[in-house]
Structure formats: C-alpha cells, structure tokens
C-alpha cells in the first residue's frame, strides 16, 4: 500500500505546474455565469488547449495527453492549487466526451472533440424537465423520426451553462408507450441556436443566469448526432456513474486548494480563542485529505479492473456536503463582510449550495447507497 | 500508486475474523468486566500466535514490525469484535520500549510480540488512566522525560464500557529511563495508541452498522421491513458515508507512519515553493468572484487583489510533494482518529435509534459495541484535540 506517484505521473504534474505558473491569469476572470465572464472563460479554454492542458485524460489524437486517472488527479491538484479559472467546458469534457469515446462513432469524435477542447463549442446538459427531476425517467420531451434524422419537441430545464453555451446533449423519448419509463429513450446532441430552439436564461439565487430553460419546437437533429443506438439512451447516460466519470465531476484537487485557502484565512482572521471555529477549519483540512485518499483508493481499484458503480454516490454526497460546510466556515470567518455578494467566497458559497441538488439529488444518492451498497429493500421514494 | 490492501493483508484480516468469530467475544467481555481475565488472556494469546502484537515490535526483539498498515488491519478486526484488553496500549508500549531500548526493551518486547505479555501505559497529555492495568503484566508511566514502571494498577474507576477497566496508577515506581529518548519515544507511542484506537473505533462502527442493517431488514412494522423506509435508509447511508471516509484516513496515516519509520519524507520534507495547497493566486473553487476592489488592505475577502491572503505558508493545509502530498505523520494520525472516532460514535447513535428500545438494554450483545464507541472516540486524543493537532502538525 503506497501513495507514490509513478515517474510518468510526476512528470505530468511538474510540467503542468510550470505551464500554469506562466499562464494562469493574475487577476480572477469575471464570473463564469455572466456574458463577459463566459467569453473570458472560453478564451481561457483556448489558451489551455494551446498548452495541451484542456483535456489531459483524452487520447492524444483528440488533443489530450492520454493521462490515466492518477495523471488526471495530479493535474487537477496542480490546476486548482494554481488558482486557475473554473472550467466552462466541464460538462462537455468530463461528461459528453467520455460518452462519445465509449459509445460514439469515429466521425462524431473527430467532429465534436476538437472544437470542444479548444472552447469553440461549449456544451450544456439537457436532462431535467419540469416534470422529470429526480425521477428523470419520467421525461416527456420527444424525438420523432423524420427524413434523415429526428424532430425534437418539448422542454428541458435547469440546464447549466445553457444561457451562453453553443450546443447541448441529453436524452429524449423516441418510442411512445415503451414498457418501462427508461426504455425507448435516445441520447442525442443539438444546437442551442438551431431553428425551433428558444433558450430562456434563469437567474440562480444570486441573480446570475447560471442555467436556463430550453424550449424545443420540431428542432431537426441529423442521424449523425445520435449517440449509440436509438432506444439505448438511458443505459448510455447511466453508464456515466459506472466508471471513472463517477469520480471526475469534482476532483479532490478543488477541495485541497479550497481547504488551503480557508486555513490561510483562519490564520489571518480567526480568533485563536474560538475553538469551535478552529474545529471546523480542521474538519475542512481533514475532509479534503479524506476525499483525496478515498479517490486514490477508488482509482487504485479502477486501475486494477474493478468497476466503481454505486460508490460514486458516496463520493457525491460527501463532496457536496463538504463544499457547503467549507464555505459556511469561510463566511463565518469574514464576520460582517460575510454578507457581501461580491467576494470569491460568496460566489463559491452560492455555487456550493447547488451541489446537493444537481447531478442526482443527495436524497436519490442516499437511496442508491442504502439499496445497492447496504442491500436494504426498495421502498417508496 | 496502489492505495489498497494487498491480497496477503486481506487474508490476514480474514484469518483474524475467523479467529475472533469463534471466540464468543461477548462472553469473554462479560468475564472481563467481572474481573475474570482468564478467557481474555487466552484470546490474547491466540491473537499473539496470529501475529497481532508482533506488528509493533521490531525484529531485533522478536517481532516483525513496526508494520502500521498490518496493525491497522488487525485493530479494525479487533474493533469489529470488541476484543477485550489493552490492545492499543500494548501496541503503544511496544513502540515506547523499542524507542527507549535498554533492559526494559529486552525484558518486555519479546513477550509483547508473542502475546505472552499484556501491558498498559499512561502518557503525558492523555489523562490519568491506564486501561485494564489490573490485567496487565506491567504498567508504564511517563511524566516529563521520566519513564517508570508503576508500583501497581492503582485505584479502579468504573467505565461507561464495563469491559474497559480504568485504573489510576499512583506516583512513583521504579525508574526505567529518562531524557530526550523518552520524550521522543513517548510521542511516538502516543501516536501509535491514537492510531490503533482509530482503527478499533472504525471496526466498532463497522460492526454496529452491519448489525443494524441486518436488524432493519428483518424487523417489520406496518407490514414491511423498517429498512424499506427512506428515513431509516438515509440514516444508515450517512453512517456508511462516515465510516467509508474515515477508512482512507486510517490507511493514509498508516502509509505516513511507514514513511516516517523508513526515514522518508513524511512530516519532514519541506514543500516546494509555491507548491500544492496554500499557494497560488485567485479563486479555484467554483467560478471566481466579480473581482471588485475592496479598497481594504487586508485581502481577506478573496476579491479585488486577485491574490488570496496568506498563501504559500508551508503549514497551511496539505502539501503536494513527490508522492500524493502529506499531512505529516502526527497530523495524519490525528485526522484519522478524529474521523474514525466520530464515525464510530455516529454508528452507535444510529444503531441505538434504529434498534429501538431493545438497543437500550444490556441484554442485547450489541451493548458491548454501543458502550464502547464513545470511549474509543475520546481515548488517546479527543476529536477536538485531534483537530487542533491537524492544524498545528
């Protein structure tokens, strides 16, 4: 049992650190969830691509470095420790791209991955609908067969990044009256500025349009933009939790960096006599290390050929709760300035608040943990 | 990197599991609590034969250690069965005496390694008690830089866990050693006691969760197993979450203790300038702030200057080194102890609640685990003391 990195991983880490030191902007970019900030983050993606750092885990032929999970984890630690900007292309790079690599065609990979890696095409997710949130399989948006493709109609909502993004991916009902709700669904891609698409930005709690509703009225999608076989959309989408993608939504590096900043804030602004607050700072340090080591164990098992499956639900419940607690502690250290909305801690806090809701609510995740890891009987949700 | 147990380590755990399953520990615990040490000593000897106590004893003294990873594996199993006796104390005494050397090491370490000797100890900063001192063959105390063998077990106090018998060794006793070697060995022994107790707490919590999951699957109310109710499931899911995130901290501490023993970088290496957590500029958590200047000198709002305050201090947070970063062995043990202690105790609260009234009785064998979780949380480093150490190293 060891925590040593291979020479290959170490070399990647050292190169990443050097590049980031020379390229990370001196001043924070404007908020990702504003038009101006979105454009600045898109430009940053292009700069990352120029250095070969926008998608380190992809194969080299698509602009990646072919890094394994340990390489990706090391890169992420360096990335967040360097204070680099949030990733506007994360939806595409960590969710759509692995799906294309596993289920897409060579033509799709060639056409989609390059522009994604360069930030030329930013992708939004289109999963939730007004009547299909936690019960995602209840979705109603449909794709109807037409000459050479499909016609999409319906409504998607809570689509992160969709206010400013270019394209979106999601699952749609292609067989009416299927035997079970998660049958007859198809995974496909469409343009957010295609004819028949209306995007209505939605302000999150702090007013920034971090997500949007998408209205679809007979939007044409060519067959070339269907991923995998029609009718297999649920299986393809859910595979995202069964492999390394369950680990890659939020990397330990984010939280190690955040815990370091919190500790620095506490040393600067904390009252040494306030041991209750001190304990919460310590919990942030402990939690970041726990998450780093938990992920190292998962990555070790994955490298040995194991599939990860429902343990990604433990992972998600952990980081989402952790992120909120860390930011609450930071706000408590800021005292009267905690109320200000124009600070990085405040922005991080608002971002963290959504964690237990998106990517499968923590209630759904706890059901999965109880039923699939502990073997408890299914019951009413 | 291979941060998982080897097949041999798993097999070691399975063999201890089989040994302990056959031992009827609730029966042994009842005798132990009544002052009858016979069955407990017999089990102790079998554990010694299986190699448990040799893990803390160097080869020069008849042991195979120190082997922190295997020691953690063993103590998790012992915790799962609530094995009686001063387990953490005997392992720590092995580290203490090996560090001090001399005649006392020669006298006691071979017996520790074989399971023939059971020891207890009291170290500075860890309270006045020596666990199960009446059952121990010797009790060692450290005060300042002086190591002594206590003249006797001292006064008995009743513990919340009747099978943990607390004794308060009196002052004095035969001097064994003194000086800086004792101070260093005492610190190392304290870390090992804390580390072993963390593993015992994790194992205790695992058994509480296992037993409770089994119970809610068979206990029926309103015509269905109570384990089908979402509120029950979610409480158990959170209990598992606590344990599963304490476990890697335990083995992470084991790796750091191993590196420290081999003179590796853990706890001694200085981070590279500008490296890892606690360095860098700008926000890295979520999208950055709007960057409006505050006009204030202190950058504590993390906005405006583009630089987070206090960055680059080597003591802030964990570090990115040649391996996967390090808290330092002492802080890593403290992190593991805080997390495992809290997770084990949370498992006890869950177990009591979900068993209902039967969980509140001494008639249920699970009472031995229910009463043990909180003492294990607090012994050899309370959660608060451990959290303070995580920040101070």
Asked if B209 and B247 count as a contact pair (C-beta separation under 8 A), the reply is: no
Asked if A67 and A12 sit in the same domain, the reply is yes
Asked if A248 and A326 sit in the same domain, the reply is yes
Asked if A89 and A105 sit in the same domain, the reply is yes
Q: With respect to residue A253, please indicate whether it lies within any of the assigned structural domains.
A: yes
Asked if A246 and A368 sit in the same domain, the reply is yes
The whole-angstrom separation of Cα B303 and Cα B307 is: 8
Asked if A113 and A140 sit in the same domain, the reply is no
User: What is the predicted pLDDT for the residue at B294?
Assistant: 29
User: What is the predicted pLDDT for the residue at A381?
Assistant: 74
User: What is the predicted pLDDT for the residue at B266?
Assistant: 37
Asked if A130 and A193 sit in the same domain, the reply is yes
User: Total domain count for chain A?
Assistant: 3
Size of interface A-B (CB pairs under 8 A): 340
Encoded tokens for B358: 């039967």
Q: With respect to residue A18, please indicate whether it lies within any of the assigned structural domains.
A: yes
Could you tell me if A353 lies within 8 Å of chain B, comparing CB atoms?
no
In chain B, what percentage of residues exceed pLDDT 70? 85
Q: Is B356 left (phi over 0), alpha (psi -120 to 50) or beta?
A: left
Boundary of a domain, candidates A117, A140, A166:
A117
Asked if A333 and A364 sit in the same domain, the reply is yes
Q: With respect to residue A75, please indicate whether it lies within any of the assigned structural domains.
A: yes
Across B320-336, average pLDDT: 82
B contacts of A363 (beta carbons < 8 Å): 230, 234
The whole-angstrom separation of Cα B72 and Cα B74 is: 5
Asked if A163 and A272 sit in the same domain, the reply is no
- List the single range of B80-89, B253-262, B365-374 with lowest mean pLDDT: B253-262
Asked if A182 and A199 count as a contact pair (C-beta separation under 8 A), the reply is: no
Boundary of a domain, candidates A94, A117, A140:
A117
Query: What does the pLDDT look like over B261-302, one tens digit per residue?
Result: 887 543 333 333 333 333 333 333 333 333 233 233 333 343
Compute the residue count for chain A.
Answer: 381
Asked if A145 and A199 sit in the same domain, the reply is yes
Query: What does the pLDDT look like over B52-82, one tens digit per residue?
Result: 999 999 999 999 999 999 999 999 999 999 9
Asked if A93 and A16 sit in the same domain, the reply is yes
Residue B53: its H or E element: none
Across B330-339, average pLDDT: 98
The residues of A annotated with a catalytic role in the active site are: 244
Domain CATH code at residue A153: 2.40.110.10
User: What is the predicted pLDDT for the residue at B171?
Assistant: 86
Answer positive or negative: Cα dihedral of B157, B163, B164, B169. Answer: positive
Asked if A149 and A55 sit in the same domain, the reply is no
Parent domain of A40: 7-117
Q: Which residues of B99-125 are buried (b: 16+ CB within 10 A; e: fewer)?
A: bbeeebbeebbbbbbbbebbbbbbbee
The whole-angstrom separation of Cα B255 and Cα A2 is: 6
Q: With respect to residue A47, please indicate whether it lies within any of the assigned structural domains.
A: yes
Encoded tokens for A256: 């190690």
- Which of A163, A207, A370, A375 to substitute to test the interface with B, most B CBs within 10 Å? A370
CB-based contacts of A147: which residues, under 8 Å, 6+ apart?
none
ipTM higher than 0.90?
yes
Asked if A114 and A89 count as a contact pair (C-beta separation under 8 A), the reply is: no
Q: Which of B319, B328, B363 is nearest to B252 (CA)?
A: B328
Encoded tokens for B48: 């010694």
Across B301-321, average pLDDT: 36
CB neighbours (10 Å) of residue A225? Answer: 19
Q: With respect to residue A180, please indicate whether it lies within any of the assigned structural domains.
A: yes
DSSP string, B132-193: TTTT-SEEEEEETTEEEE-SS--EEE--SSTTS-EEE--S--EEEEESHHHHHHHHHHHHHH
User: Using CB atoms, which residue from B232, B234, B317 is nearest to A256?
Assistant: B317
B contacts of A377 (beta carbons < 8 Å): 217, 224-225, 227-228
User: Using CB atoms, which residue from A28, A275, A376 is nearest to B306?
Assistant: A28
User: What is the predicted pLDDT for the residue at A380?
Assistant: 77
B contacts of A81 (beta carbons < 8 Å): 275-277, 279-280, 284, 320
Q: Is A207 left (phi over 0), alpha (psi -120 to 50) or beta?
A: left
Domain CATH code at residue A94: 1.10.540.10
Give B309 or B347, the one with higher predicted confidence. Answer: B347
User: Using CB atoms, which residue from B228, B237, B244 is nearest to A379?
Assistant: B228
Q: With respect to residue A378, please indicate whether it lies within any of the assigned structural domains.
A: no
Across B221-243, average pLDDT: 97
Across B126-140, average pLDDT: 97
Residue B289: its H or E element: none
The whole-angstrom separation of Cα B47 and Cα B15 is: 10
Coil vs helix vs strand at A258: helix
The whole-angstrom separation of Cα A245 and Cα A354 is: 19
Boundary of a domain, candidates A91, A117, A143:
A117
Q: With respect to residue A359, please indicate whether it lies within any of the assigned structural domains.
A: yes
pLDDT averaged over 10-residue windows placed end to end, chain A, 381 residues: 94 98 95 95 98 96 94 97 96 92 96 97 96 92 97 97 97 91 95 98 94 98 97 88 67 97 96 95 98 96 87 93 98 96 94 94 95 93 74
The whole-angstrom separation of Cα A282 and Cα B265 is: 23
Q: With respect to residue A328, please indicate whether it lies within any of the assigned structural domains.
A: yes
The whole-angstrom separation of Cα A48 and Cα A25 is: 12
**Domains with residue ranges and CATH for chain B:** 7-185 (1.10.540.10), 189-266+326-392 (1.20.140.10)
Asked if A82 and A154 sit in the same domain, the reply is no
Chain B nearest-CA distance from A209, in A, is 13
The whole-angstrom separation of Cα A277 and Cα A67 is: 39
């Amino acid at each position: 049992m060891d925590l040593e990195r291979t020479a290959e991983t170490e070399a990647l880490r050292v190169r990443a650190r050097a590049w980031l030191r020379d390229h990370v902007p001196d001043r924070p970019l404007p908020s990702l969830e504003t038009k101006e900030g979105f454009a600045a983050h898109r430009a940053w993606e292009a700069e990352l691509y120029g250095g070969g750092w926008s998608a380190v885990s992809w194969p080299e032929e698509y602009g990646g470095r072919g890094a394994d999970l340990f390489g990706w984890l090391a890169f992420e630690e360096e990335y967040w420790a360097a204070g680099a900007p949030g990733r506007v292309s994360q939806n595409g790079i960590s969710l759509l791209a692995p799906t294309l690599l596993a289920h897409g065609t060579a033509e799709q990979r060639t056409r989609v991955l390059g522009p994604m890696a360069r930030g030329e095409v930013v992708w939004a997710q289109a999963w939730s609908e007004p009547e299909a949130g936690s019960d995602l399989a209840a979705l109603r948006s449909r794709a109807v067969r037409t000459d050479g493709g499909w016609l999409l109609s319906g409504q998607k909502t809570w689509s992160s990044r969709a206010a400013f993004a270019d394209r979106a991916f999601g699952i749609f009902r292609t067989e009416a009256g299927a035997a079970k709700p998660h049958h007859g669904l198809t995974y496909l891609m469409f343009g957010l500025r295609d004819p028949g698409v209306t995007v209505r930005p939605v302000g999150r709690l702090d007013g920034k349009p971090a997500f949007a509703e998408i209205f679809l009225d007979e939007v044409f999608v060519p067959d070339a933009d269907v991923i995998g076989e029609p009718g297999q959309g649920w299986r393809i989408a859910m595979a995202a939790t069964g492999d390394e993608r369950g680990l890659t939504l939020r990397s330990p590096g984010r939280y190690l960096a955040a815990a370091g900043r919190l500790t620095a804030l506490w040393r600067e602004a904390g009252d040494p006599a306030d041991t209750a607050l001190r304990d919460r700072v310590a919990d942030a340090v402990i939690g970041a290390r726990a998450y780093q080591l938990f992920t190292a164990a998962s990555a070790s098992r994955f490298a040995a050929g194991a599939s990860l499956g429902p343990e990604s639900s433990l992972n998600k419940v952990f980081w989402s709760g952790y992120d909120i607690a860390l930011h609450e502690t930071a706000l408590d250290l800021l005292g009267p300035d905690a109320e200000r909305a124009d600070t990085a801690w405040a922005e991080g806090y608002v971002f963290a608040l959504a964690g237990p809701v998106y990517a499968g609510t923590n209630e759904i995740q706890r059901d999965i943990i109880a039923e699939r890891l502990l073997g408890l009987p299914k019951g009413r949700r | 990197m291979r941060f998982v147990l080897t097949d041999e380590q798993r097999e070691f755990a399975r063999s201890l599991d089989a040994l302990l399953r056959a031992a009827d520990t609730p029966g042994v615990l009842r005798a132990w609590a009544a002052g009858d040490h016979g069955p407990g000593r017999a089990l102790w000897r079998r554990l010694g034969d299986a190699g448990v106590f040799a893990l803390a004893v160097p080869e020069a003294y008849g042991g195979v250690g120190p082997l922190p990873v295997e020691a953690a594996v063993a103590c998790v199993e012992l915790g799962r069965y609530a094995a009686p006796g001063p387990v953490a104390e005997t392992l720590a005494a092995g580290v203490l005496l090996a560090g001090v050397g001399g005649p006392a090491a020669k006298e006691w370490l071979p017996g520790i390694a074989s399971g023939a000797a059971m020891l207890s100890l009291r170290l500075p900063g860890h309270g006045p008690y020596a666990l199960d001192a009446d059952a121990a063959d010797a009790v060692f105390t450290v005060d300042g830089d002086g190591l002594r063998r206590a003249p006797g077990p001292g006064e008995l106090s009743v513990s919340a866990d009747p099978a943990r018998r607390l004794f308060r060794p009196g002052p004095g006793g035969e001097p064994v050693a003194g000086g800086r070697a004792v101070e260093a060995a005492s610190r190392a022994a304290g870390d090992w006691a804390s580390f072993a107790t963390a593993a015992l707490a994790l194992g205790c919590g695992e058994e509480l969760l296992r037993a409770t999951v089994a119970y809610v699957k068979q206990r029926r109310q309103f015509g269905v197993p109570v384990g089908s109710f979402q509120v029950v499931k979610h409480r158990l899911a959170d209990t598992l979450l606590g344990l599963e995130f304490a476990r890697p901290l335990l083995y992470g501490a084991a790796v750091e203790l191993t590196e420290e023993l081999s003179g590796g970088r853990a706890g001694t290496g200085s981070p590279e300038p500008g490296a890892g957590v606690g360095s860098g500029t700008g926000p890295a958590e979520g999208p950055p702030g709007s960057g409006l200047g505050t006009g204030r000198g202190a950058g504590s709002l993390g906005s405006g200057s583009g630089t987070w305050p206090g960055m680059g201090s080597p003591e802030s947070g964990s570090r990115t080194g040649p391996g996967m970063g390090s808290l330092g062995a002492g802080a890593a043990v403290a992190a593991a102890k805080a997390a495992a202690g809290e997770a084990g105790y949370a498992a006890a609260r869950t177990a009591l609640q979900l068993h209902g009234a039967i969980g509140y009785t001494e008639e249920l064998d699970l009472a031995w685990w229910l009463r043990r979780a909180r003492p294990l949380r607090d012994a050899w480093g309370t959660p608060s003391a451990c959290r303070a150490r995580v920040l101070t190293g």
